[in-house]
Amino acid sequence: MRIGAVFPQTEIGSDVGGLRAYAQALQDMDFVDLLAFDHVLGASAAHYDSASLKGGYRENDMFHEPMVLFGFLAGIAPKLSFATSVLILPQRQTVLAAKQAAEVDLLCGGRLRLGIGTGWNPVEYEGLGVPFTERAARQEEQIRLMRELWTKPIVNFNGKYHRVTEAGINPMPVQRPIPIWLGGMADAVLRRVATLADGWFPVFPTLSGLKTRSMPQTDETPQVIVDRMRGYARAAGRDPSTIGINGTFLYGDGTPEPWHHILETYRSIGATHASINTMGSGLRGADAHIAALRRFKESL
C-alpha cells in the first residue's frame, strides 16, 4: 500500500517558499503521492444560506489550482506522484482539461492520477458557464473523450456534449491513457467506478474522520461498501483487483495508535493507497504541516 499525503490546501498559505519546502520535505521523507483537492470559486457565506449548499467550503477557504500547482511542484520534487482528489471535471472544458493533464503527466514523468468528481457547488458551475444539471452524464462522456485524446494523435468524436473533428492534443502524455479515478460514495458512483474508472477515492467516515452534508450517510462498514463496488465490477466483466482504492485519514491530535489501526483496516479491505490529511488539526503554514508529517512517518 502506497503512503501519501493530502496537500493542506486551506492551511498552507500562499507563500511560494512554503509550497516549495513542503514538496521537497514530502520527497525527502519518502512519501509517494501528493493529493490535492479542487475548488475554483468559494461561495460567500454571507450571500448563500448554509442550508442551500451542501459542502462546507466558502470564500475564506484557500484552494491552489491543482494542475498549475502540480506543474510547479513536478520540477521541485521529481520523485513525487500526483493525484487530484478530486478535480470537478464537468465544470471544465474537456479538451482543455485533457491538455492540461497531459502536460502535467509529461512534466512529472508519467506519475499523475486524475481523480474526478461531479461536485456539489452550483455557484462554481454558474461562474464557469456550465449547467449544474446533467453533470454526471456529462462526466461519463468526458471520460470517453479524454481517453481518446490521450491515446490517439487524431480524434473524431461526436457525442451529446462534445464534438472533436480531425484534431488531437500534442504533446501526448507519458501514460496513454492517464489513469482516471472517481470520487464519491453514492451507489451511482460505485457503479461508475466499477464500469469506467481505474480507481476510486472513497470517503469512509469511520476511517477518514470526515463527515459532511454532501456525503451520503451509511451504517455500512467499509468492507461491505468495497465488496458492493467489486460486485458491480464483476457483473460488468471486469477484474475488481485492477481497480485501485485510495483511502484518506486525519492526522488528528498526533496520536499514532489511530493511524496504525486505520492503515491496517485499509490494508484489510485491499486499498492500494492511503493518504494522511493534516488539515483540521490546528496547524498553520508549511512548517507546521511538515513537522506533523515527520511525526507520522517516524511512527511507522
DSSP string over 239-272 = -GGGSEEEEEEE-TTS-HHHHHHHHHHHHHTT-S
Sort 239 into a burial class: Cβ within 10 Å, 0-12 / 13-18 / 19+.
Answer: exposed
Sort 241 into a burial class: Cβ within 10 Å, 0-12 / 13-18 / 19+.
Answer: exposed
Joined together, the cell numbers standing for residue 240 give 475488481
**SS3 assignment, position 267:** helix
Separation between Cα atoms, residue 44 and residue 81, nearest integer Å: 33
Q: How many CA atoms lie within 13 A of 161 on its CB side?
A: 22
The CATH number that applies at residue 46 is: 3.20.20.30
Separation between Cα atoms, residue 298 and residue 295, nearest integer Å: 5
Separation between Cα atoms, residue 64 and residue 13, nearest integer Å: 9
Fill in the amino acid letter for 108: C
Domains held by the chain: number: 1
Judge whether 9 and 281 are in contact, CB under 8 Å.
no
**SS3 assignment, position 291:** helix
Joined together, the cell numbers standing for residue 46 give 454571507
Closest to 6 measured CA to CA, from 283, 197, 299: 283
- pLDDT string in tens for the chain (300-residue length): 999 999 999 999 999 999 999 999 999 999 999 999 999 999 998 888 777 787 889 999 999 999 999 999 999 999 999 999 999 999 999 999 999 999 999 999 999 999 999 999 999 999 999 999 999 999 999 999 999 999 999 999 999 999 999 999 999 999 999 999 999 999 999 999 999 999 999 999 888 765 544 455 567 999 999 999 999 999 999 999 999 999 999 999 999 999 999 999 999 999 999 999 999 999 999 999 999 999 999 999
Backbone angles phi, psi at 128, to 5 degrees: -95, 0
Angle between helices 135-151 and 94-107 (to 10 degrees): 50
Instruction: Identify the domain containing residue 201 by its residue range.
Output: 2-299
Judge whether 111 and 197 are in contact, CB under 8 Å.
no
Judge whether 114 and 142 are in contact, CB under 8 Å.
no
